[in-house]
Structure 1
Amino acid sequence: MTCRGKWAEEFPLVFWSDRTTSKTSTGHTPYSLVYGTEAVLPTEIMVPTARYGLLTNDVNNVELSHDKDTVDELREMAKIRVATYQQRVANIDNKQVYIRTFRVGDMVLMKTFQNTMDVTAGKFADTWEGPYLIEAVVGRGAYRLSTMDGMQVPRAWNALHLKLYHV
């Protein structure tokens, strides 16, 4: 198998950099969540830094045993941070959502769909039909409708396809 370009040579480095970069959702690197300690980069071995160059074997063993003891706490804190991050993202996504709620007995209009629209009306066709009565609340945001004559409309309808009818 031949590879075009240098992506095959660069892939391990890119993969390693992704595993050693802290993520916004957890605040830690995936490597540290799995192994309990930060990874030593190959460049730190070639050009010693303060973190790597000043360690002795005894100090390193003490640090590793401390990291091994606190890895469960690190993972628990990451779980909590992921939950708060997901809640923040959900709040941002749901900021523009307007939930329509109706009560039994309310009069509503139902959105017309392409298969129920009059094909001869053209662009001036009605976009809402009705009015209908809310007969029952079936679930969260779902309603059973009936016509003004008392005939039940087949299946339940989502509140997204309904709007309040003002007399």
Structure 2
Amino acid sequence: MNEALWAYRTSYRTPTHSIPYALVYGVEVMLPLERQIASLRIAIQEGLTQEENAPLRLEELDSLDERRLDAQQRLECYQSRISKSYNKKFHQCSFQVSDMILSIRRPIITHKKGKKFEPKWDGPYVIQEVYTNGSYKMVDQDGVRVGPINGRYLKRYYP
């Protein structure tokens, strides 16, 4: 578990263009291998005295807020791009009162055995009420009320 967390916290994240460890502590992570095999960064850091190291650390901490803000802006841009991409493929159907529709059969089971030709849609239903948030209340042919149900689980029925 600890190794998995270490791997997650020290790996590069595309949305923020940074490493989570660096956003929390303000410095790049020092890998255990760098401690065992002397690296240039270790040599420079160990060669500094306490008085020389303190201003460098304060400078890193001062730039931390700017790095976090930059990461936040990059994350918001990334989320915007992802939502644009999703919204290109997804289109919300809108239905009116008295439209005939089908509703996806629930629960949605992806691994069925032996029921290959069973219908995936229930209905037809008639829209009785339309809510502002994209939900609909329906009535089946026997007058039984169904819903409210989200519009993304519905499709138009053509008799």
Instruction: Give the TM-score, by structure 1 length.
Output: 0.59
What amino acid is aligned across from residue 39 of structure 1 in structure 2? V
- Is 1:20–2:13 an aligned residue pair? no
Q: Whose Rg is larger?
A: 1
- Cα distance in 1 for partners of 2:32, 2:93 equals 57
What amino acid is aligned across from residue 25 of structure 1 in structure 2? P
Aligned to 2:145, what secondary structure does the other structure show? coil
Which range is displaced more, 64-73 or 87-96?
87-96
Report how many aligned residue pairs link the two structures: 145
Q: Percent of aligned pairs with the same residue? A: 27
Where does residue 68 of structure 1 map in the other structure?
61
Report deviation, 1:92: 4.0
Where does residue 92 of structure 2 map in the other structure?
99
Q: Which runs of 5+ in 1 are unaligned?
A: 1-7, 115-122
Deviations 1:106-151 (A, max 9, x none): x21334859xxxxxxxx698x564462x3321242211235689x5
What amino acid is aligned across from residue 28 of structure 1 in structure 2? S
- Cα distance in 1 for partners of 2:71, 2:100 equals 47
What amino acid is aligned across from residue 159 of structure 1 in structure 2? G
1:110 to 102, 109, 124: 102
- Cα distance in 2 for partners of 1:42, 1:53 equals 15
Aligned to 1:31, what secondary structure does the other structure show? helix
What amino acid is aligned across from residue 70 of structure 1 in structure 2? S
2:81 to 76, 81, 88: 88
Where does residue 25 of structure 2 map in the other structure?
35
Report deviation, 1:29: 2.0
What amino acid is aligned across from residue 47 of structure 1 in structure 2? A
1:47 to 29, 33, 38: 38
Report deviation, 1:99: 1.6
What amino acid is aligned across from residue 14 of structure 2 in structure 1? T
CA contact (8 A) 2:23 2:68 kept: yes
- Cα distance in 2 for partners of 1:42, 1:154 equals 60
Aligned to 2:147, what secondary structure does the other structure show? coil
Where does residue 119 of structure 1 map in the other structure?
none
Divergent runs of 4+, >6 A:
none
Q: Which runs of 5+ in 2 are unaligned?
A: 107-116
What amino acid is aligned across from residue 163 of structure 1 in structure 2? K
